[in-house]
Amino acid sequence: LFGRPWIFIRGVPAMKFLPPEGPPEIAFAGRSNVGKSSLINALVGHKGLARTSNTPGRTQELNYFVPDGFSGADDDLPPMALVDMPGYGYAQAPKEQVDAWTKLVFDYLRGRSTLKRVYVLIDSRHGVKKNDEEVFALLDKAAVSYQIVLTKTDKIKDAGVPRLIEETRQKILKHPAAYPDVLATSSEKSRGLDDLRNAILTAIAR
């Protein structure tokens, strides 16, 4: 599943453009620049799949990726889809943009029965910020299972990683829909990727 070619199937700017419900979906959320594109690319072993860039997101779309080689017909569905949610937390974002993000994401979270889990990415250097807490609250409200993934662990001292995992775990324990185990990754150093792949495979099997 991972390590085979994946393809982009569509960008969804509003609910009516969602593909029909089919394979189990795993979504990724995080502040802009958290390393979300890099992690998705590293996870599936496909460098150019999700776009990596520092430009604050213009189009707010849910981007759908599936492994290649399935027609999508009822008897030939891909085993899963990855959904790259638009980044959040731009310092300069106007209120209308934040509201549009919240509407699209909340509608999706609440309305998608095939969504199995959301991975919320947190930059190891920054930790959990106020807008991450707002996203946790949205996920709790939608009652969607979610798990925290620390990114860019190569940017902090090795000894700091277990401490950051524990600090982050303490912060999410009070959140009803959060999965208490925190994953730690580095796309750059290929760390923690197998743990994340295994967590995803377990989540889609539920």
Q: By rule CB under 6 A, what string of x and - marks binding of each residue 41-80 to ligand GDP?
A: -----------xxx--------------------------
Measured from the CB atom, is 22 or 160 closer to ligand GDP?
A: 160
Size of residue set near ligand GDP by CB under 6 A:
19
Question: Judged by CB under 6 A, does residue 30 bind ligand GDP?
Answer: yes
Closest contact distance (angstroms) between CB of 69 and ligand GDP is 26
Closest contact distance (angstroms) between CB of 33 and ligand GDP is 5
CA distance 25 to 112: 9
CA distance 89 to 33: 10
Closest contact distance (angstroms) between CB of 150 and ligand GDP is 10
Q: How far apart, in Å, are the Cα atoms of 46 and each of 7, 32, 173?
A: 9, 21, 34
Question: Judged by CB under 6 A, does residue 196 bind ligand GDP?
Answer: no
Q: How far apart, in Å, are the Cα atoms of 134 and each of 130, 131, 138, 203?
A: 6, 5, 6, 23
Other C-beta atoms lying within 10 Å of the C-beta of residue 192 = 21
Helix (H, G, I), strand (E, B) or coil at 151: strand
Binding site for ligand GDP (CB under 6 A): 30, 32-38, 52-54, 87, 151-152, 154-155, 186-188
